């Protein structure tokens, strides 16, 4: 069943152009120069598509047999999807009622006063927590959120990325490997290495760009990517 959800989610990603190719490269937040992108911003800017996306997340979590009490989106890319998923999740639970579920989001910048937890969050998570991220490259933003919750002794059930770019960090490790050292499970609902070949076949971009993307994965990828045969 989890395979069926991932397959349907992959089609959702492809049909909505979440992953694609650039004619001119951009510099990512990580400093890497890329001819391909992962962009969830347009999805979470649309109410209908965000509704679909949150349903996918909830189905995915259920198939993993996870039992969260709270969803939290990494600021700022996953903030909205974290809030909406938590709202829908809470309303579907048998113990839904006043005071049972928290609606939590991270502050853009921490407050300079107040209790430590309140400085970082509007609504401090409680109970088993799932942290959502839209895209993981080096995973630095996700790891920083994880470390802050561990510092505050908040139980993290899992971390879930909508798309993993399948890249190695500057320290030579993957995001999953870093999180495993902290005993935090990491899951990705879609992966670049699986989807880029399908998207290339669909779009038939210039082979020069395809070569650039292949070279990118030779340098940064967890393994080699083959687009041109």
Model confidence over 47-83: pLDDT tens digits? Answer: 999 999 999 999 999 999 999 999 999 998 899 999 9
- Residue 1 is classified by DSSP as -
SS3 label, residue 43: helix
pTM: 0.94
DSSP per-residue codes, 80-148: HHHHHHHHHHHHTSTT-STTT----EE-SS--SSS-HHHHHEES---SSEEEEEEEESS-HHHHHHHHH
Alpha carbon of 189 to those of 125, 130, 162, 194: distances in Å?
A: 23, 14, 5, 11
Tokens of 41: 């911003």
**Average pLDDT estimate for 37-45:** 97
Among candidates 52, 173, 48, 68, which has minimal Cα distance to 131?
Answer: 68
Q: Are 43 and 18 in contact (CB under 8 A)?
A: yes
pLDDT over threshold 70, residue 203: yes
C-alpha to C-alpha distance for 13 and 36, rounded to whole angstroms: 14
Chain center to CA of 68: 17
Share of the chain above pLDDT 90, in %: 84
Q: Is the per-residue pLDDT at 108 higher than 80?
A: no
Alpha-carbon gap, residue 126 to 101, rounded angstroms: 8
pLDDT of residue 1: 76
What's the confidence (pLDDT) of residue 180?
96
Q: Within the chain, how many helices (H) and strands (E) appear?
A: 9, 8
Asked if 193 and 166 count as a contact pair (C-beta separation under 8 A), the reply is: yes
Going along the chain from its start, the domains and CATH numbers come out as: 2-220 (3.40.50.2020)
pLDDT of 113 over the 80 cut = no
In percent, how much of the chain has pLDDT > 70? 96
- Report yes or no: 22 and 209 within 8 Å, Cβ to Cβ: yes
Q: Please tell me the predicted confidence (pLDDT) of residue 30.
A: 85
Identify the pLDDT of residue 120: 76
Position 116 confidence tier, pLDDT thresholds 50, 70, 90: low
Query: Does 114 have pLDDT greater than 90?
Result: no
- Mean pLDDT value across residues 126-150: 95
Greater confidence (189 vs 30) lies with 189
User: How far is residue 83's CA from residue 91's CA, in Å, rounded to a whole number?
Assistant: 12
Please write the tens of the pLDDT for every residue from 143-177.
999 999 999 899 999 999 999 999 999 999 999 99
């Amino acid at each position: 069943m989890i395979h069926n959800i991932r397959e349907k989610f992959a089609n959702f990603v492809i049909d909505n152009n979440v992953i694609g190719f650039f004619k001119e490269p951009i510099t990512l937040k990580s400093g890497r120069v890329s001819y391909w992108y992962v962009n969830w911003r347009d999805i979470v800017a649309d109410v209908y598509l965000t509704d679909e996306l949150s349903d996918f997340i909830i189905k995915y979590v259920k198939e993993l047999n996870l039992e969260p009490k709270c969803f939290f989106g990494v600021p700022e890319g996953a903030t909205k999807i974290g809030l909406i998923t938590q709202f829908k999740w809470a309303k579907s639970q048998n113990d839904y009622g006043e005071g049972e579920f928290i609606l939590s989001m991270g502050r853009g910048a921490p407050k300079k006063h107040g209790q430590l937890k309140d400085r970082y969050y509007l609504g401090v998570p409680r109970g088993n927590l799932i942290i959502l991220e839209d895209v993981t490259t080096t995973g630095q933003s996700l790891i920083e959120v994880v470390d802050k919750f561990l510092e505050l002794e908040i139980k993290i059930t899992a971390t879930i990325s909508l798309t993993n770019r399948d890249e190695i960090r500057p320290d030579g490790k993957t995001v999953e490997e870093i999180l495993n050292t902290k005993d935090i499970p990491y899951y990705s609902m879609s992966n670049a290495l699986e989807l880029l070949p399908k998207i290339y076949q669909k779009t038939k971009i210039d082979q020069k760009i395809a070569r650039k993307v292949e070279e990118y994965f030779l340098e940064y990828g967890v393994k080699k990517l083959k687009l041109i045969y």
